[in-house]
Amino acid sequence: MELRPAFQIPAIIKSLSDVVLPAVDPANKLAQEQGQLVVAMLHLIAQRLPLQYRYDRHELSRYLALADALASAGAAIPEAADALHALAASAAEGRLLMAAAGTEPAALEAANLALRERVGAVVTAAAATAQDVALKAINAAVMAHTQEELLRERAWIALQGWEGPASGLPAIETLIGS
Amino acid sequence: MAATVDKNRPSPEWIAELRRRFPCETEIDRVLTRKLERRAGPPYAPVTLAQLQAGTESLLKTQLVEPFTVRDCRWLSGGASKLQMAFTLDWSQPGVGRVSTPLVLRMEPSEAITETSRLREFQIIKAMEGVVPVPPTYWIDAYGEHLPYPAIVYGFAEGVTKPSASSSNVSGVGTFMPPEIRETLGQQFVDHLAITHSFDWRQADLGAYDRPAIGTQALEWALNHWERVWEEDAHEDVPLMRLTMAWLRRNMPPVDHVSVVHGDYRLGNFLYTEQDLKISAWLDWELAYLGDRHEDLSWCAKRPFGHLAEDGKTFLIGGFLPMQAFVARYEKASGLKVDPKRMQYYDIFNNYKAVAIVLATGYRAPRNGKTHQDVLVSWITGISYSLLDELRTQMAQTAELL
């Protein structure tokens, strides 16, 4: 799926900076100011988006460390017992999530890219074969995968309206799990 | 795991390998190679009207002897590919005298969603002047010697691309043609295609076009062209595209009559005058080449470039006429047959080509900030997935995949 923020945001910034903002009425100070802020905000988003997941994971690790420190330091304070108990429950959930949060989004994207490229190379190489049965099996696998993938991709960009309101596309949330 | 080639900074070795793997027409090879060689350079920088005016004046100084004035420069919108500036030229037109002529400068950005040759565009329109309606074409800066990028100066052609009261999406998709204009415009729509395909291009000045032999040479060049574009520009590989190209290469139909192929012949790419319902100009010849007429025939018959008749069942090609009437009129006007099997083949070819343009180049050009409207080009990328789904359906219907 090519339409992802890392691709879209720079295009939006360029359009705003090169075309739209220079055409905004210089006398409209409110529009001028907010236009500049929109571009600045988009620059910030574009710069930080690749780090967002790592940032959240790092923050969780620091809060887990703080929770441990508070549990130790607060053990002698009866008045804090209920709050510390609740904190311990949340920290336990956090530790489970922390253990599962091992792969960064960029690594997933890179893995998908590499697999796509290598699947493509297999399809091209197999096309040269005279092994009809094997070739048909490869083609069938690719076609089945493609059907599912395209449903997902079309649902992802349904809001663009290329297929109209009666497209019958399912909501993307129903296709990619919880 | 990481992809192996950095397409944003192509190496000379990779460029050479692509040129070797995908031999195509000489001028197409030149523009694609130029695109790759410039890719690692700076993004497209906004050009001012003053810069375009100065560049236009510089070009005209090499073409005009008498004094002239370029004035009233202003931007035109429309199209996903090139920049357009309207202006008025006060000049001494040969054989006419002092006149003020409204003109349009059409210039490439740094990289376009369709990377094409201005020289080919200029030559084919000149060749088709007096054959079918085309916009008046005046001068060319083929290599960007006067303007920031290669450009052509066109005259204005009068007319509209759709009924004034109609609405449509980007590039004319979704236009409705009212019943009262269908017959008159539809006849011209078919006849101009027939004339284009039966035109004797051998006598024309088409030096930027390689001349293919009867057989599969034109198609091989075309397949190499679009597979090369896919290889050069695609970010995410798509297995269906690999599978489709393998099928296209295994099933190449020979060309029985080498025609001028417009390359984007469809509703939205002609102007007509509403007062007399005459097509005044066929536009967007940049994808033209010498090849098989069935590419144009199947392209203009695609669903997005037409609509259903009032019965809710009959599809009207271009919004004008059903397939049976379209084929009958075309065959009579051109003397050329329409082969259903080749229509099916080129329908698949056209979808491959369209996906290469909108998904591969439609990603790569704005990814590197190379166009004057990156936000529009990246938006259009979204249509790729509907096209791919249609391609998937077509491929599922081909006998060897069942």
Residues of B in contact with A116 (CB under 8 A): 236-239
Distance from CA of B308 to the nearest CA of A (A): 15
Question: Which chain A residue has the Cα nearest residue B363?
Answer: A2
Q: Which residue has the tokens 């349009």?
A: B104
Report residue A76 as tokens.
Answer: 């002698």
Residues of B in contact with A3 (CB under 8 A): 378, 381-382
Measured CA distances, B337 to B215, B256, B263, B330 (Å): 16, 10, 19, 8
**From the candidates A13, A122, A146, A159, which should be mutated to test the interface with B, based on the most B CB atoms within 10 A?**
A146
Distance from CA of A158 to the nearest CA of B (A): 9
Give CA–CA dist A15/B366, Å, rounded.
Answer: 11
- Write the Ramachandran bin of B171: left for phi over 0, alpha for psi from -120 to 50, otherwise beta: left
Q: Is A19 on the interface with B (CB under 8 A)?
A: yes
A152 with A167, same domain: the answer is yes
Q: Positive or negative, the Cα torsion across B165, B169, B171, B175?
A: negative
Number of structural domains chain A divides into: 3
Asked if the Cβ–Cβ distance from A113 to B385 is below 8 Å, we say: no
A95 with A121, same domain: the answer is no
User: What does the pLDDT look like over A5-48, one tens digit per residue?
Assistant: 999 999 999 999 998 999 999 999 999 999 999 999 999 999 99
Give CA–CA dist B291/B28, Å, rounded.
Answer: 14
Q: How would you label B342-357 residue by residue, b for 16+ Cβ within 10 Å and e otherwise?
A: bbbbbbbbbbbbbbbb
- pLDDT at position B1: 47
User: What does the pLDDT look like over B111-132, one tens digit per residue?
Assistant: 999 999 999 999 999 999 999 9
- CB-nearest partner of B392 from A14, A113, A147: A147
Distance from CA of A132 to the nearest CA of B (A): 9
A110 with A171, same domain: the answer is yes
Residues of B in contact with A163 (CB under 8 A): 386
A113 with A170, same domain: the answer is yes
Asked if the Cβ–Cβ distance from B246 to A124 is below 8 Å, we say: yes
Measured CA distances, B60 to A133, B55, B69, B105 (Å): 64, 9, 10, 12
Give CA–CA dist B24/B32, Å, rounded.
Answer: 10
- CB-nearest partner of B382 from A12, A145, A160: A160
A62 with A124, same domain: the answer is no
Q: Which helix (H) or strand (E) holds B32?
A: helix B26-39
Identify the CA nearest to B321 among candidates B133, B191, B172.
Answer: B191
A72 with A41, same domain: the answer is no
Q: Which letter does DSSP use for residue A21 in this model? A: G
Q: Which helix (H) or strand (E) holds B102?
A: strand B97-107
pLDDT of chain B, 402 residues: tens digit per residue: 445 789 999 999 999 999 999 999 999 999 999 999 999 999 998 899 999 999 999 999 999 999 999 999 998 876 667 889 999 999 999 999 999 999 999 999 889 999 999 999 999 999 999 999 999 999 999 999 999 999 999 998 889 988 887 655 555 566 889 999 999 999 999 999 999 999 999 999 999 999 999 899 999 999 999 999 999 999 999 999 999 999 999 999 999 999 999 999 999 899 999 999 999 999 999 999 999 999 999 999 998 899 999 999 999 999 999 999 999 999 999 999 999 999 999 999 999 999 999 999 999 999 999 998 899 999 999 999 999 999 999 999 986 654
Asked if the Cβ–Cβ distance from B2 to A114 is below 8 Å, we say: yes
β-strands B307-308, B315-316 pairing: antiparallel
Q: Which residues pair with B255 in a beta bridge?
A: B215
Max distance between CA atoms of chain A, in angstroms, equals 79
A117 with A80, same domain: the answer is no
Distance from CA of B387 to the nearest CA of A (A): 10
A112 with A168, same domain: the answer is yes
Measured CA distances, B21 to B18, B226, B227, B253 (Å): 5, 12, 10, 21
- Write down which residue in A67, A100, A133 finishes a domain: A100
Give CA–CA dist B224/A142, Å, rounded.
Answer: 23
User: What does the pLDDT look like over B279-302, one tens digit per residue?
Assistant: 999 999 999 999 999 999 999 999
The domains located in chain B, with CATH, are: 42-155 (3.30.200.20), 160-401 (3.90.1200.10)
A91 with A152, same domain: the answer is no
A16 with A39, same domain: the answer is yes
A67 with A19, same domain: the answer is no
Q: Which residue has the tokens 């690790």?
A: A61
Give CA–CA dist B43/B369, Å, rounded.
Answer: 5
Q: How would you label B137-157 residue by residue, b for 16+ Cβ within 10 Å and e otherwise?
A: bbbbbbeeebbbbbbbbbeeb
The per-residue DSSP string of B276-330 comes to TTEEEEE---TT-EEE-THHHHHHHTSGGG-EE-TTSS-EEBTTTB-HHHHHHHH
Q: Please give the residue range of the domain that contains residue A14.
A: 5-51
Q: Are B290 and B215 in contact (CB under 8 A)?
A: no
Residues of B in contact with A123 (CB under 8 A): 239, 242-243, 246
Question: Which residues of chain A fall short of a pLDDT of 50?
Answer: none
**From the candidates B173, B238, B357, B385, which should be mutated to test the interface with A, based on the most A CB atoms within 10 A?**
B385
Give CA–CA dist B300/B294, Å, rounded.
Answer: 10
- Say which residues have a Cβ less than 8 Å from residue A51's Cβ, sequence separation at least 6: none
Report residue B289 as tokens.
Answer: 């080449």
- pLDDT at position B402: 42
- Write down which residue in A82, A100, A118 finishes a domain: A100
CB pairs under 8 A between A and B: 124
This complex has an ipTM of 0.86
Asked if the Cβ–Cβ distance from B401 to A19 is below 8 Å, we say: no
